[in-house]
Structure 1
Amino acid sequence: MAEGMEPIEVRFRLFDGTDIGPNGHDPSTTVAALKEFVLARWPQGKEVAPESVNDVKLISAGRVLENNTTLAESRLPVGEVAGSAITMHVIVRPPQSVKTEKKKVSKSPKQNRCGCTIL
């Protein structure tokens, strides 16, 4: 950890309302490393579970965080209470089904069928 920089307490809120953490992380930790942390501590027995880092999105203060940014770059100091944990929401991409994969392969032209009526 860098000298003079305090760890940032982060809590990861899963889709069902359960939490992982809070745990202290170095401000220079990347979002990709945070995703790996979440994967390593994912609760057993959950119906939905990510298979890789690419299946996870972290949202903080309404923003989807990019893998190459650091925790220090991602946080918004406005509205934070000293000594409190930052809550990041964890979104898991649902597994691709065979039906959706076939739909992507289909090359049929799309037809716009708008049913809107403007009065």
Structure 2
Amino acid sequence: MAELKDHLEIKFRLSDGSDIGPKSFPDATTVATLKETVVAQWPREKENGPKTVKDVKLISAGRILENNKTVGDCRNPVCNLSGAVTTMHVLIQPQVTEKEKKKKKKPKADLKNNVCLCFGHRF
């Protein structure tokens, strides 16, 4: 029974409502390791999956979890009842490369040609 106290049963809820897990993790497991698990177990049939740990954000009890924190640090005594499964929400935020950033920037000259169709004003 002491072993179970040192572990947390976690499932990862994806944005479409499907889950990865549940799986048991020791309290000493870091959030970065949890993210590695999400990347490794991401369903192949789903589009826009994470490529690296940096693409993943985990949310538990309304807080974004930091990579250096452990599962034990993330425990919430009110929510984590003995034998209960903790749900962590997964957000995927792909990293934008410098090349992609440059493509998204509009030259200032283009801004002069923008027209509001509602009022016909030029900005």
Q: TM-score, normalised by structure 1?
A: 0.77
Superposition map of 1:6-45 within 5 A = 6-45=6-45
C-alpha distance in 1 between matches for 2:86 and 2:61: 9
Between the aligned residues of both structures, percent identity stands at 50
Equivalent residue letter for 2:75 = R
C-alpha distance in 1 between matches for 2:107 and 2:68: 34
Instruction: Name the count of aligned residue pairs.
Output: 107
C-alpha distance in 2 between matches for 1:3 and 1:60: 23
Compare CA radii of gyration and give the structure with the larger one: 2
Equivalent residue letter for 2:42 = W
For residue 23 of structure 1, give the secondary structure of its aligned residue in structure 2. Answer: strand
1:47 maps to 2:47:
yes
Q: Extract unaligned runs of 5+ from structure 1.
A: 109-119
Decide whether aligned partners of structure 1 residues 104 and 48 sit closer, same or farther in structure 2, where only a CA change above 3 A counts.
closer
Q: Extract unaligned runs of 5+ from structure 2.
A: 109-123
Q: Offset of 1:91 from its aligned partner? A: 0.1
Cα shift readout 1:44-96 (whole Å, capped 9, x = no counterpart): 11112111000000000000000000001012111333211000000000463
Decide whether aligned partners of structure 1 residues 68 and 106 sit closer, same or farther in structure 2, where only a CA change above 3 A counts.
farther
C-alpha distance in 1 between matches for 2:67 and 2:4: 25
Q: Offset of 1:98 from its aligned partner? A: 8.1
1:69 maps to 2:69:
yes
Cα shift readout 1:15-65 (whole Å, capped 9, x = no counterpart): 110000000000000000000011110001111211100000000000000
Q: What is the root-mean-square deviation of aligned Cα atoms in Å?
A: 2.8
For residue 48 of structure 1, give the secondary structure of its aligned residue in structure 2. Answer: coil
C-alpha distance in 2 between matches for 1:94 and 1:86: 25
Find the counterpart in structure 1 of residue 120 from structure 2: none
Q: Is the 8 A contact 2:54 2:95 kept in 1?
A: no
